[in-house]
Amino acid sequence: STYRLVANRKEVRIGLPEVRLGILPGWGGSTRLPRTIGIAEALDLILTGKTVSARRAWKLGLADALLPDARFLDEVRSFALAHLDRRGGEEPARPDFKELLLERNPLGRKILFDQARKKTLEQTRGQYPAPLRAIEVVRVGIEDGPRAGFDAEARAVAELATSRTAKNLLHVFKLTEEAKKEKGLPGGEPRPVASVAVLGAGVMGGGIAQLVAAEAGIPVRMKDVDEKALASGMAHAAQVFDRALRRRRIERPEVKRRMSLILPTLSYAGFERVDLVIEAIVEKLPVKQQVFAETASHTAERTVLASNTSSLSIAAIGATTPHPERVAGMHFFNPVHRMPLVEVIAPEGADPAAVNTVFAFARRLGKTPVLVRDTPGFLVNRLLMFYSTEALWLLDEGHRIEDLDRAMTDWGMPLGPMALTDEVGIDVAVKVAHILRDAFGQRLPLPPWLDRLSLEGRLGTKSGSGFYRYDGRERKDPDPAVYGLLGLEPKIDRPDTARLADRMVLPMVNEAARCLDEKVVASPADLDLALILGTGFPPFRGGLCRWADHQGLPTLVAAL
Ligand code: NAI
């Protein structure tokens, strides 16, 4: 007999990740897994490429035993000895999943496969061929037997592996792997970070403090000027832990221990022992400058001061501190625990050791850091601004909110531009638009009615109304009142959505070329990766620059 034994260790994750590369498990996995753990559970793993913990793998029947990590080899030996006698004997008792009513009869199985197909189509919008093909392969393996299953697997893998989608996904995988080797600026080793302070306990500050406690496991002071803000920052951190608890990513005593690492405070007491300060207070330059000067006077000279600003110049923020060379940007994306990108901003004259401390710490937090120059909007927000502003101009031309969003979600973006603006906050988006307009001039023309929505108190998701109506945080229908408020008339029916998508994607391509020219990031690879990790730009397209390369320069220029 063959047995699979797993060590009960946090790092152990088990799954079949092939669909993430645009193929499917083709070395027996698609055929054997459903026979081992049942069709429904197998499809859940195969179609998503997700991984499960050692304990979950054991519960699913993927492993025959869950052994303590500390004595793993001894335990394996005992297990082997105990099972030697049963050589060629029966398999260890497993719950018999195949006995499940649904999976045993052909009609039940048909329902199961139909549901899987429907759900997969909803989630992939038909953009990812591999999961759909996997459902078919699993079906063949169950209905026609293992030999037919193996044969179907081999054929499917051969066909999928040569598709553009698979090549793009493999390309993105390589980008991610290569990014892991990046170390930041040349000429400075990162300093050790054993204690952190976060300034501001708002949406971002609370999220960052939680992340430091959860991922780095070191003490983190969270300072605000408002006691209520501190309480809500702590509540926010607790909420994120709670979600991880419910998903069994962490256990209760550990949550307690990690939460106790977060120290809410109104004062700078203890700041002299802090190695890294991450500022996430209000987006106002004079306030940030004052706070940086204060912080510099309460910290040691080696302490690195980082700002999470999304639109202000890092050099300007640091200008009031006695040692501006230790100031860098550490730009997280919202929601902090979910978005994998951190833009690390190195202003002119920054100490490479300070920048690399931020870079290394971002990685320790489980994020992918990308080095970005200190230019307006940095990289991701700058590109996004050209995309969402074009959407506003399309609205101005008479297009409908839902048509613009659908054009982009069909294209593969997780959110359309209007829904995204609602999420970001219309007031925030408008403010950043003005800042970038001031920086880029006529290259970023803004519609004349831009300020009107936020002046009416329509701030997007957080205020319960924006381009859409909301029920709590849940997005409902587009709000037709928006057109009247802006003096617009939606008059274009059934637009060509592929053309609409081009209109919105191409300005980003154009601006991406400028960013590369200005060395905002080091390479098209960095640009593509940052956009994928910071905005959910569709990985199956391989990245913005790669997509542009596939179109070809003559096509792009003509379309622009
Ligand atoms: P927020 O308004 O939710 O929180 C700001 C917090 O800073 C408030 O609790 C306020 O009491 C506190 N504060 C104000 N002055 C302070 C001072 N002198 N010392 C200590 N705390 C002070 O703001 P949010 O959204 O968390 O943004 C914070 C920063 O993060 C801004 O620079 C923003 O541009 C940036 N950012 C925001 C993102 C977002 O999606 N909300 C995304 C990425 C960056």
Provide the pLDDT for residue 87: 58
CA of 515 to the centre of ligand 1 (A): 27
pTM of the model: 0.90
pLDDT level of residue 103 (50, 70, 90 thresholds): confident
pLDDT, average across residues 374-379: 97
Pairwise CA distance, residues 41 & 58, whole Å: 13
**pLDDT at 8 > cutoff 90:** yes
Q: How far is CA 199 from the centre of its chain?
A: 23
Confidence of residue 120 (pLDDT cuts 50, 70, 90): very high
Q: Burial of 214 by CB count in 10 Å (0-12 exposed, 13-18 middle, 19+ buried)?
A: buried
- Measured from CB, residues less than 6 Å from any atom of ligand 1 are 199-205, 223-226, 229, 280-283, 287, 291, 308-310, 332, 334
Nearest to 385, CA basis, from 489, 496, 393? 393
Mean of the per-residue pLDDT values of the chain:
94
The per-residue pLDDT for range 447-487, each reduced to its tens digit, is 999 999 888 889 999 999 999 999 998 999 999 999 999 99
Atom of ligand 1 nearest to the CA of 230: 9
Host H or E run for residue 200? none
Residue 364 pLDDT:
97
Q: What is the pLDDT of residues 485-534, one digit of tens each?
A: 999 999 999 999 999 999 999 999 999 999 999 999 999 999 999 999 99
Q: Is the pLDDT of residue 292 over 60?
A: yes
Q: What is the pLDDT of residues 79-96, one digit of tens each?
A: 999 988 765 545 555 555
State the average pLDDT over residues 332-342.
95
What is the Cα–Cα distance from 518 to 513, expressed in whole angstroms? 9
Distance 3 CA to ligand 1 centre (A): 53
What's the rounded mean pLDDT across residues 73-82?
95
